[in-house]
Chains A and B, each alone.
Chain A
């Protein structure tokens, strides 16, 4: 009754509107950034391995190049972790987590793998990192009602990534 009274008053007095906004691009989430970052980690390990197998391993050029690869590996491992944390913390809602209760455990696994690939140059761990993020991407797209497919990335290291069927 009070509501209807206020509604009538509103038609005459036009109460000011207070905006509970949701309509700017803060709703843009996409796991592809994390997937590509994880793929970059594998690529850097491959480049480091290639360099290590070469002949010149003690010159200034060698140290400069290997440092750059390590730096990019560090940066992208952290970037992947950051992107996953944002989607997990800001996008996933209670109803998503009810449907995908494994998401928490998966995110924790991604965080752990992200740290491991920084601490080492183990390719297997890095591939596992990519795959865990792929699994997260499958959950993410499912929450949006979008099916996914797996296809090899068209660039080295050509690992399989999860893509949305748009």
Chain B
């Protein structure tokens, strides 16, 4: 139901930076609906386990994701994320103490 994971990379900086911890809920989405702005963890066939922000939804249920960093991987390159690839949604973000 809950998992702790650690952030690698800077695509969601300055909000999420390398070394931050996140607690994600793995509840099924009919119990925990996703909305634009949520931060999700999902499995990508090429890049592995990714953390990205939800930027929108396609009519067929595909989830469009992106980072906040200009050079972030986004759905332009990844394509929409399938709902079944989503591992969970961030419900708690524990920042590195040095991070403002």
Query: A interface vs B, CB < 8 Å?
Result: 2-4, 6, 9-10, 15-24, 26-27, 90-93
Q: Which residues of chain B from 2 to 59 have any CB-CB distance to chain A below 8 Å in the complex? A: 3-13, 16, 21-22, 41, 47-52
With contact pairs A3-B97, A15-B21 given, residues A22 and B11 touching in the complex (Cβ less than 8 Å): yes
B82 at the interface (CB under 8 A from A): no
With contact pairs A3-B97, A6-B4, A19-B49 given, residues A26 and B71 touching in the complex (Cβ less than 8 Å): yes
Instruction: Please tell me the number of chain B residues within 8 Å of chain A, measured between CB atoms.
Output: 34
Docked-complex contact B4 and A22, CB < 8 angstroms: no
Query: What 3 A-B pairs have minimum CB-CB distances, sorted nearest first?
Result: A27-B71, A20-B9, A18-B51
With contact pairs A17-B5, A20-B9 given, residues A3 and B67 touching in the complex (Cβ less than 8 Å): no
Docked-complex contact B77 and A20, CB < 8 angstroms: no
Docked-complex contact A16 and B6, CB < 8 angstroms: yes
In-complex Cβ contact of B5 among A18, A21, A91 (8 A): A18
Docked-complex contact A17 and B49, CB < 8 angstroms: yes
Residue among A9, A19, A26 with max Cβ neighbours from chain B (10 Å): A19
Docked-complex contact B48 and A19, CB < 8 angstroms: yes
